[in-house]
Amino acid sequence: MTETILKTYTIGELAKEFNVTTRAIRFYEDKGILNPSRQGQKRIYGPRDRILLKLTLRGKRIGFTLAESQKLFDMYQHGEDNKDQLETMLATLDEKDALLAQQKLDIEEMEAELQAARERCLTAIKKIDNI
């Protein structure tokens, strides 16, 4: 008995859980990121699709394009045996890592500036209130 029963989701459930439209989810399938099975003509998503969706959305939030995410997933899945592909993936990973490092700096600098702007705002409001 290697049979395992997996949790499944409808497109609407996933859409609600991750706060995206069903249109977006179908779009990701179009782009080859998701691969739901069917029950009749209805899409059925398993845990794997759910994870991929989650990763995709996270990628998006930090500026990955769908193509980039897809490429990473793809390499992760079919790259075990091909050395060239593994090395390409390594390079990609390093590149992404560098970008993330830069982004961290950018975020911290931006946070400092937002904080400064915030204080300037508060001071200006106080002045107005005290007139």
Which residue among 2, 17, 18, 42 contacts DNA (CB under 7 A)? 42
Of the pair 10, 85, the CB lying nearest DNA is at: 10
75, HSE (Cβ side, Cα atoms, 13 Å): 16
Binding partner at 91 among its own copies, DNA, none, C-beta below 5 to 8 Å by kind = none
Segment near DNA (CB under 7 A); pick from 17-25, 47-55, 79-87, 105-113: 17-25
Q: Is 67 exposed, middle or buried (0-12, 13-18, 19+ CB in 10 A)?
A: exposed
Of 27, 55, 85, 88, the one binding DNA by CB under 7 A = 27
Please give the Cα distance from 15 to 21 (Å, whole number).
5
Closest to its own copies by CB, 17 or 30: 17
- Is the distance from CB of 28 to CB of 64 less than 8 angstroms? no
